Homo-oligomer: A and B are copies of this chain.
Amino acid sequence: MQRILNDPDNIVDEMLSGFLKANSDIVEATENKRVVKARCKGEGKVGVITGGGSGHKPAFIGYVGENMCDAAAVGEICSSPTAVAFLDAAKCADQGKGVACLYGNYSGDNMNVKMAVKMAQKQGLTIKTVIANDDVASAPKNQREKRRGVAGEIFMWKCGGAKAAMGGSLDEVINAAQKAIDHTRSVGIGLTPCTLPAVGHPNFEIKDGTMEVGIGHHGEPGIEVCELETADKMAKRMTDIILPDYPFEAGDEVAVLISGLGATPVMELYVLYNEVEKLLQEKGIAVYRAYVGNYFTSLDMMGATLTLMKLDEELKELLDMPVNTVGLKQKGKEKG
């Protein structure tokens, strides 16, 4: 295992310590060492929090900051944060107007968030939730509630965070975040497995010359394993899976997010984007904003995810709001 590590059991502590020191203009530590909060949060607004396992940098802590999440609960590698971490994140974010907890659909996170909501209730703090389920490959369309949350969570945080920053009520923030994820579909292709530092070897296999379509961020099996294809064919395969699912149609405007899974050269993500945009254009779908880079990763996995969000005027306004986090920095809209 060729990696930059000390004791694998301390990796989350050390990563967090480094992250907080390097980004002290944006984030700060809290009393709970598994909770990171934003240095500047808008005054008197609804709190927005998230949380998840480590190993997906910049998710989740990288989306804490101005106009996005106010705090994030941090789990071990590929494990949910504790209920107490979610609760403490909510307490950090609360300004008396309630807290929106926007997170991904994994059993551990579901269980711990539910417990945090109950504990908060007893303390007079209202937490409402949106559960991201944008990963098309993880369950059939008629079982959307079973689908995992993947890179589409970034659009959920962006839109929910923007609504809160605009002064939206808790219900309005929840509705905006729910709308964002409801309009969003993702799919991933894995080219290599990833290695958990504490394990030291990959815990699943992707054979050389093959790729796994629909793979999850933790190596959860996808739709099929097939021969490694060209970037153009991957783009076609990914759009063919995503577009009919919502559906996305001619005349639509979309936001596109292509994220590397950790070990993919960014150059190759642009090769993929090049074809994705062409395929969308051929179908009459216009790209309003694009994000290409390592936005939601899976340790050292090679591969990429494609995420599309269908836009309307409200979602465009929310997406365009400036944001300043470690993982996503954006000025106001200047395009067009």
Count of A interface residues, CB-CB < 8 Å:
66
Say yes or no: is A268 at the interface (Cβ < 8 Å to chain B).
yes
Residues in chain B near residue A256, CB distance under 8 A = 22
Residues in chain B near residue A230, CB distance under 8 A = 5-6
Chain B CB within 10 Å — which of A18, A211, A304 has the most?
A: A18
Given contacts A15-B267, A18-B271, contact A4 B300 (CB under 8 A): no
Assess the A25–B266 pair: CB atoms within 8 A. no
A266 CA / B292 CA spacing, docked (Å) = 16
Residues in chain B near residue A4, CB distance under 8 A = 191, 231, 234, 264, 268-269, 271-272, 303-304
Assess the B335–A292 pair: CB atoms within 8 A. no
18 further interface pairs, Cβ-Cβ under 8 Å (given A4-B234, A23-B292, A55-B265): A2-B192, A2-B211, A4-B268, A4-B304, A5-B268, A14-B231, A14-B275, A15-B268, A22-B270, A22-B273, A22-B291, A23-B290, A57-B267, A57-B270, A58-B266, A263-B264, A324-B331, A329-B330
Assess the A265–B300 pair: CB atoms within 8 A. yes
Give 9 nearest A-B pairs by CB, closest first.
A18-B274, A18-B270, A329-B329, A263-B263, A22-B290, A4-B268, A2-B191, A18-B273, A57-B266
The answer, among B14, B206, B265, for a CB contact under 8 Å with A270, is B14
Assess the A17–B274 pair: CB atoms within 8 A. yes
Residues in chain B near residue A17, CB distance under 8 A = 270, 274
Chain A contact surface mostly: mixed
Shortest Cβ gap from A283 to chain B (Å)? 16
Residues in chain B near residue A211, CB distance under 8 A = 2
Which chain A residues (27-86) contact chain B, with CB distance < 8 Å? Answer: 40, 54-55, 57-58
Residues in chain B near residue A5, CB distance under 8 A = 230-231, 268, 271
Assess the A21–B262 pair: CB atoms within 8 A. no
Say yes or no: is A297 at the interface (Cβ < 8 Å to chain B).
yes
Residues in chain B near residue A294, CB distance under 8 A = 266, 294
Per-position contact with B for A113-154: 1 when CB-CB < 8 Å, else 0?
000000000000000000000000000000000000000000
